[in-house]
């Protein structure tokens, strides 16, 4: 294939990928992203994130109801004290405390006020409001989302209150919201939790922010930077986020400045923990409203401590294998307490047993992604299209320019290298490279498309070679040559074969009366008429010699079906010759046919580099003699008993047993009259009388034989076999055959 054609094919493959890209975004998320997670496997979450499970074991141990929102809130206050003693930087309750309980709320609120680091959960209530036209006609509905606040005493005492909605569609959870725009751009639970977790670096964050937004310096004075009340929290975060929305490059410039040498010289070199906290905080504000979750593993991947163990344990983090400080605790309901476990979320790590990931684990995962700054980030749209285009072009050139095996190796190597690189980027940076289109669509199209194209090209070349060689060689030999086999391998050895010979009666007179070019055109048309019935009935035209044709049918052993096909081909050859004589520009060429079968050697005959593919054996010679017998009997179609024996689809009459010149064994020969069911009464009567005449001839009843053959002549005046016997009987009378004679006729000439 030329480079130009290969480039066209490669561009087509790239175009297919680009055109399918917008239609397969969901498939890429469901399959491509899932494959990257499965290849990467589970990974360890940050040690600073811990889950306190409100589980069945705690309910049973402490004699509590199975519904955690009914547990005494004083226990939650005690839990807050315990967690703060363990070094909690933030405590997140994935539980909605709606109904007020005065005394219990007071204890719980008091504990929250001590640490100023507890985040409670809003509930979102959805409702539909009708939309009406100016005329008052209802034209649709608008979906409204309203935040429901926890009990007042608790909401006032919490550091922040935020919702944690998660999409239920699609079924597999791949994303989380950082901001719920439809609820008033309110930050979600993980974002609020991380804001409190990063409280220590928040002043540095604001200082860095005002470097780029001097116009906002007055609004973010250090003394007023941190919200003093929970209800101020969303507004303060919205103000900061607004700056990032107005300037999309702000986060990148802040990160560049943070890593610059000048910043470190002017502010001192912060420790790695503070530096990572600043990076994560900047990235959090620069993220879109929804982000892809970077799952750490199946349910139970995060360090999980049962509620009752935490309540009953001493305030030593080493008891639970926790860091000594700055821990983010997520308190939420375990799947063991959820009715029929219907509230879990299906993730790529959900187990086949149906154990989905709980909501509190999703909250912990979202928070951990913000903490590590490793949320899954798909390549930008234009870059994804560029990757798909380049991969398609490169793969197309490899597959279409290289031979099949190197192309297969190149395609596999390219696909493997791409998958390895995609896994590496996903594992180390959380970058999501597209997989479905490059590996699932472009690679198969490129490879199998090139294979089919190359196969078609080879077949086209083989057809041209077959057409060229087919004028001079049988199909079997051509097939052998096309397979590049040796001369010996093309040979087939001994097989059962049926040989058919033809001879044109008037060829000599035609050759004398026509110029060579016209004769050549005529004979080509004549042989085309002969070849078609042979091929239609599964025969093989072996060779053409002068005005004659040798065809054959082969099988491993004598088979009636093969014999029948040969006999039917003989009948159709005569019909084709008659049609040829009646066609425009045609000439009547009476044709004699002989058919005989037996075991032959089929293969290459010759030496010194010159071979002919043909049958060898007595059967071939005998078939030629049977064809020649037509001249003596004035017949057109003669077939031996060896072929006709079990054939039922045709009608034939025996014309005698003949010992051909140079032979010692007689051959029973039959004249093929037509297909069974097509013969008229005259032919049936002729066959009956001729059979009786032949029997009389064999028992030496010469007078009876003459009478019966004469009767045959009266039925059909041009009956050649009857005339032949009437011609030889006088000789038999004059010179009777020897004792033991059974009616066979010896022929001393061909």
Closest to 392 in 3D by CA, of 1, 10, 8, 3: 10
* Residue matched to tokens 């398609």: 392
| Lowest mean pLDDT across 48-62, 221-235, 357-371 | 221-235
- Contact, 580 vs 533, CB < 8 A? no
| 80/78 Cα distance (integer angstroms) | 5
- pTM value is 0.67
Q: Provide, rounded to the nearest whole percent, the portion of the chain with pLDDT above 90.
A: 52
Interaxial angle between packed helices 359-372 and 189-197, expressed in degrees from 0 to 180 and rounded to the nearest 10 = 50
323-348 residue pLDDT tens:
877 889 999 988 777 655 456 788 88
* Residue matched to tokens 């107005």: 246
Quickly state the pLDDT bin for 660 (edges 50, 70, 90). very high
pLDDT higher than 80, residue 738:
yes
Structural tokens at position 322: 């926790």
pLDDT higher than 80, residue 221:
no
Provide the pLDDT for residue 423: 96
| Lowest mean pLDDT across 503-517, 531-545, 548-562 | 503-517
| Lowest mean pLDDT across 172-181, 311-320, 328-337, 651-660 | 311-320
| Lowest mean pLDDT across 90-99, 130-139, 468-477 | 468-477
Helices (H), 247-312: 250-259, 261-267, 272-286, 307-312
The set of long-range contacts for 652-655, using a CB threshold of 8 Å and a minimum separation of 24, is 653/686, 653/687, 653/690, 653/691, 654/691, 654/694, 655/694, 655/721
* Residue matched to tokens 């997140």: 92
109-120 residue pLDDT tens:
999 999 899 999
Mean pLDDT across the chain, nearest whole number?
87
Length of the chain: 750
Closest to 360 in 3D by CA, of 322, 331, 329: 331
Q: Provide, rounded to the nearest whole percent, the portion of the chain with pLDDT above 70.
A: 89
Provide the pLDDT for residue 227: 67
Pairing assessment for the beta strands 667-675 and 637-640 based on DSSP bridges: antiparallel
Query: Please, how many CA atoms are within 13 Å of residue 344, restricted to the half-sphere of its CB?
Result: 23
Q: What is the mean pLDDT of residues 285-289?
A: 91
Helices (H), 21-101: 25-27, 33-40, 56-62, 73-85
DSSP single-letter state for residue 440: I
pLDDT higher than 70, residue 488:
no
Q: Which helix (H) or strand (E) holds 673?
A: strand 667-675
Pairing assessment for the beta strands 179-180 and 548-555 based on DSSP bridges: unpaired
Q: Is 514 helix (H, G, I), strand (E, B) or coil?
A: coil
Provide the pLDDT for residue 137: 75
Quickly state the pLDDT bin for 228 (edges 50, 70, 90). low
Higher pLDDT, 107 or 213: 107
Closest to 634 in 3D by CA, of 655, 651, 657, 650: 655
User: Domain boundaries in the chain?
Assistant: 3-23+382-465, 45-372, 475-647
From residue 233, alpha-carbon distances to 28, 180, 236, 370, 490 in Å are 37, 15, 5, 18, 89
385-435 residue pLDDT tens:
999 999 999 999 999 999 889 999 999 999 999 999 999 999 999 999 999
Quickly state the pLDDT bin for 706 (edges 50, 70, 90). very high
| 477/495 Cα distance (integer angstroms) | 16
| 582/251 Cα distance (integer angstroms) | 93
| Lowest mean pLDDT across 129-143, 345-359, 450-464, 653-667 | 129-143
pLDDT higher than 60, residue 677:
yes
Q: Please provide the CATH number assigned to the domain covering 475-647.
A: 3.30.70.1230
| 216/202 Cα distance (integer angstroms) | 16
| 473/602 Cα distance (integer angstroms) | 14
Provide the pLDDT for residue 712: 93
């Amino acid at each position: 294939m030329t480079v130009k054609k290969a480039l066209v094919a490669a561009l087509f493959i790239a175009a297919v990928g680009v055109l399918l890209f917008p239609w397969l975004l969901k498939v890429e998320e469901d399959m491509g992203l899932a494959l990257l997670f499965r290849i990467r496997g589970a990974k360890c979450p940050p040690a600073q994130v811990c889950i306190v499970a409100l589980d069945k074991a705690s309910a049973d141990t402490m004699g509590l109801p199975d519904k955690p929102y009914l547990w005494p809130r004083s226990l939650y206050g005690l839990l807050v004290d315990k967690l703060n003693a363990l070094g909690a930087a933030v405590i997140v309750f994935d539980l909605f405390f709606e109904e007020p309980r005065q005394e219990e709320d007071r204890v719980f609120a008091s504990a929250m006020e001590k640490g100023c680091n507890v985040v409670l959960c809003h509930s979102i209530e959805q409702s539909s409001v009708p939309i009406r036209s100016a005329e008052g006609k209802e034209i649709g509905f608008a979906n409204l989302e309203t935040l429901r606040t926890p009990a007042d005493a608790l909401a006032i005492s919490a550091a922040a209150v935020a919702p944690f909605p998660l999409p239920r569609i699609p079924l597999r959870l791949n994303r989380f919201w950082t901001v719920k725009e439809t609820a008033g751009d309110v930050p979600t639970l993980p974002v609020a939790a991380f804001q409190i977790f990063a409280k220590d670096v928040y002043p540095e964050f604001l200082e860095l922010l005002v470097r780029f937004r001097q116009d906002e310096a007055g609004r973010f004075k250090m003394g007023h930077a941190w919200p003093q009340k929970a209800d101020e929290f969303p507004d303060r975060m919205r103000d900061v986020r607004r700056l990032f929305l107005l300037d999309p490059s702000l986060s990148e410039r802040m990160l560049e400045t943070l890593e610059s040498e000048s910043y470190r010289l002017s502010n001192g070199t912060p420790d790695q923990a503070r530096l990572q906290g600043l990076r994560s905080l900047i990235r959090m504000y620069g993220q879109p409203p929804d982000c892809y979750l970077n799952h750490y593993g199946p349910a139970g991947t995060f360090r999980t401590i049962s509620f009752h163990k935490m309540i009953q344990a001493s305030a030593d983090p080493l008891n639970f294998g926790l860091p000594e400080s700055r821990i983010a605790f997520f308190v939420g309901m375990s799947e063991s307490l959820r009715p029929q476990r219907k509230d879990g979320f299906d993730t790529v790590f959900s187990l086949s047993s149906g154990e989905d990931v709980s909501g509190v684990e999703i909250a912990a995962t979202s928070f951990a992604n913000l903490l590590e700054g490793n949320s899954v980030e798909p390549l930008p749209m234009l870059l994804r299209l560029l990757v798909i285009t380049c991969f398609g072009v490169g793969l197309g050139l490899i597959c279409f320019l290289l031979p099949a095996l190197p192309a297969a190796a190149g395609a596999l190597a390219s696909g493997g290298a791409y998958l390895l690189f995609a896994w590496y980027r996903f594992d180390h940076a959380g970058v999501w490279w597209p997989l479905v289109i490059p590996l699932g669509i472009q690679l198969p199209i490129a490879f199998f498309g090139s294979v089919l194209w190359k196969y078609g090209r080879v077949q086209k070349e083989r057809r041209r070679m077959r057409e060229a060689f087919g004028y001079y060689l049988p199909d079997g030999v051509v097939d052998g040559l096309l397979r590049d086999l040796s001369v010996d391998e093309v040979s087939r050895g001994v097989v059962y074969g049926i040989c058919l010979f033809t001879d044109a009666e008037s060829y000599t007179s035609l050759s004398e009366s026509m110029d060579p070019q016209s004769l050549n055109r005529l004979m080509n048309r004549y042989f085309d008429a002969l070849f078609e019935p042979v091929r239609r009935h599964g025969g093989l035209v072996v060779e053409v010699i002068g005005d004659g044709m040798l065809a054959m049918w082969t099988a491993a052993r004598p088979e009636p079906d093969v014999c029948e096909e040969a006999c039917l081909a003989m009948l159709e050859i005569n019909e084709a010759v008659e049609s040829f004589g009646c066609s425009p520009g045609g000439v009547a060429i009476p044709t004699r046919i002989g058919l005989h079968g037996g075991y032959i050697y089929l293969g290459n005959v010759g030496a010194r580099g010159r071979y002919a593919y043909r049958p060898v054996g007595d059967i071939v010679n005998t078939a030629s003699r049977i064809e020649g017998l037509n001249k003596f009997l004035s017949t057109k179609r003669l077939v031996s008993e060896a072929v006709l024996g079990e054939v039922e689809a045709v009608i034939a009459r025996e014309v005698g047993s003949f010992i051909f010149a140079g032979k010692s064994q007689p051959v029973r020969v039959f004249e093929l009259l037509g297909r069974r069911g097509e013969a008229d009464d005259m032919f049936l009567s002729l066959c009956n009388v001729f059979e009786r005449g032949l029997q009389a001839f064999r028992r030496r009843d010469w007078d009876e034989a003459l009478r019966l053959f004469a009767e045959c002549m009266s039925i059909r005046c041009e009956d050649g076999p009857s005339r032949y016997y009437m011609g030889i009987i006088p000789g038999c009378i004059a010179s009777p055959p020897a004792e033991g004679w059974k009616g066979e006729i010896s022929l001393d000439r061909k």
